[in-house]
């Protein structure tokens, strides 16, 4: 088998084609690596935002739980009964104080020794 000029040209063309393909593939791989890094950075930022949102959601949920416990009809009924009991006691004490003040009348009798 003899090497002819046509074969050399064919081998040269194939070699040039392989080298050109390698360069194209290498360039594409570099572009994909850059895009992958950018995507990873974006995903990390999204994860951070999601974590902050989760924390805020948990905090709001706790606050709503506390408020709903405070505004629960049963709790409000108990508090209102306690407040009414205190008001009745204050009225009773005020009535007794008025009676004692009326009895005393603000005058002190003279004391004999």
Q: How far apart are CA 95 and CA 85, in angstroms?
A: 15
Residue with tokens 């004391």: 111
pLDDT score recorded for residue 1:
66
Sorting pLDDT into bands at 50, 70 and 90, what band is 78?
very high
Q: How far apart are CA 80 and CA 72, in angstroms?
A: 12
Residues whose CB falls within 8 Å of the CB of residue 75, separated by 6 or more in sequence, listed in order: 69
- Residue pair 29/21 in contact (Cβ under 8 Å)? The answer is no
Q: How far apart are CA 113 and CA 102, in angstroms?
A: 27
Please report, in angstroms and rounded to a whole number, the separation of the first and last CA atoms in the chain: 154
What is the per-residue pLDDT across 1-29, written as a single tens digit (0 to 9) for each?
Answer: 688 888 889 999 999 999 999 999 999 99
Task: State percent of the chain over pLDDT 70.
Answer: 94
pTM for this model (two decimals): 0.50
Residues whose CB falls within 8 Å of the CB of residue 69, separated by 6 or more in sequence, listed in order: 75
């Amino acid at each position: 088998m003899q090497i002819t000029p046509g074969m050399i040209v064919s081998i040269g063309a194939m070699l040039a084609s392989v080298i050109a393909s390698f360069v194209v593939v290498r360039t594409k791989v570099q572009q994909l690596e850059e895009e992958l890094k950018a995507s990873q950075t974006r995903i990390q930022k999204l994860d951070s935002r999601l974590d902050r949102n989760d924390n805020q959601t948990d905090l709001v949920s706790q606050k709503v739980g506390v408020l709903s416990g405070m505004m629960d009809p049963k709790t409000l009924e108990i508090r209102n009964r306690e407040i009414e009991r205190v008001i009745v006691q204050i009225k009773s004490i005020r009535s007794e104080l008025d009676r004692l003040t009326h009895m005393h009348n603000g005058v002190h009798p003279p004391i004999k020794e």
